[in-house]
Amino acid sequence: MRQTFPVRLGAAEESLIAQLKAAGADQAAERVTVAGLPTRRVEAYHYTDLKTLLRAIPPLAQAANEASGTALRVPGAYALSIVNGAVLNAATAPEGVKVGKTHGGVLTNRDDVIVSVSNALATETLSLDLKGAIEQVVQIDHRIEGEAGHVADATKIFVADDSSVVVLETFSGSDAAHVGNHATYLALGKNAVVTHVTIDLSGRATSHFATNEYHLADGAQLRTLVIHAGAGLARTHLFPKMEGEGAHADVTGLNLVSDGQHSDITMETQHAVPYTSSQPLFKSITRGRSKSVVQGKLIVARDAQKTDAKFMHQGLMLSDEAEILSKPELEIYADDVVCGHGSTCGKLDEDSLFYLLSRGIPKAEAETILVRGFIAELIDPIEDEALNEALQGIVDGWLLGN
């Protein structure tokens, strides 16, 4: 008989267990007590060992009545705010946008500690029902204010059949050692066209966790863009699921990682029915002693014939000390599919850099031009002009070290 030994719990785990028990989430607390935070032995966290990286969980954040201001302002956007987990009153919604509040978590239960903690601790949920061709960008600004706090918040979005919208979620807050656990559930109706952009602009002391779950009906078209450019520890987990024939998802992301930062984008895309497609594309840019992680799994169900799915990750290292870790995976149970994956990593192309220098362009400016070109295929598809310009500004700010 195999003997088992209890997990040695650290300070972060002890604090998390106490918070879960106080919230009445005994099952989630028991899960942390038995298994602890994920280590390298958990495949989905192989490169992001939370037991090592997450040393402390601050107290649950106190309620905040107002935000000090968004970290990213997009002209013309319809703005909503979630501050310290509470949904604040918003301005009158544009036509086709219905705003409400519900309670409790929004994510499908999984064997994942971030998901279970989110469902257990998220108390107030922002709900959005979107219908028609919505021209304004719908911006949800998540902020953690005040002293170091632990926040779990949730958003549930339904996009009606034949509707179109751009949804932007931004994450920021005061300069303290916050832990944010953010959940978004997004369901696309038949032939809906949705762009979903999420941007972490938190302070360097923050640990940022986000889980985005997508459900696509017949003919739905989804484009996502995740940008990590703030927190010292950041992880976004993406769960797109193609549930209707003709559904397509361009799942994209960008890790902008500087000295001391650890950023992780992990994706698990499920093709559940025939005639669906996805094209995940992720990029990493690292400098200093930093680490970027991109993991991507494509799962094709037995009945999902004629699936077309291709995963690609490209890394650009601007320093010798940086690390870029990539793990693409295919899990295919159908036999009539076109699927593939690839991963590349390198430095700036020396020939291209030499060409620009030979034209009298200073080295710093030449390197910036090449980096912008590397990122272009992620940002260029964002058609809203004001949002595209704001995204370019984030990249430019990172390149300048802001």
Q: What pLDDT is stored for residue 67 in this prediction?
A: 61
* C-alpha distances out from residue 6 to 9, 32, 35, 43, 114, Å: 9, 11, 8, 20, 21
pLDDT in the model for residue 2: 43
0.85 exceeded by pTM: yes
Task: Please write the tens of the pLDDT for every residue from 316-328.
Answer: 999 899 999 999 9
At residue 53, the pLDDT reads 96
CA 82/CA 96 separation, integer angstroms: 21
Distances (CA, A) of 181 to 60, 114, 165, 208, 293: 11, 7, 25, 7, 19
| Per-residue CA distances from 314 to 133, 226, 286, 341, 342 (Å) | 34, 15, 12, 11, 8
Give the start-to-end residue ranges of the domains of the chain.
Answer: 68-347
Q: What pLDDT is stored for residue 171 in this prediction?
A: 97
pLDDT at 381: 96
Q: Where are the beta strands (DSSP E) in 273-371?
A: 277-278, 281-286, 291-300, 308-317, 323-332, 338-346
The whole-number pLDDT of residue 71 equals: 83
**Which class for 359: exposed (0-12), middle (13-18), buried (19 or more C-beta within 10 A)?**
exposed
Give the pLDDT of residue 246. Answer: 97
Q: What residues of the chain score a pLDDT lower than 50? A: 1-4
Backbone φ, ψ for residue 353 (5° rounding)? -65, -45
Q: What is the pLDDT of residue 3?
A: 42
CA-based nearest residue to 325, from 42, 39, 45, 37: 45
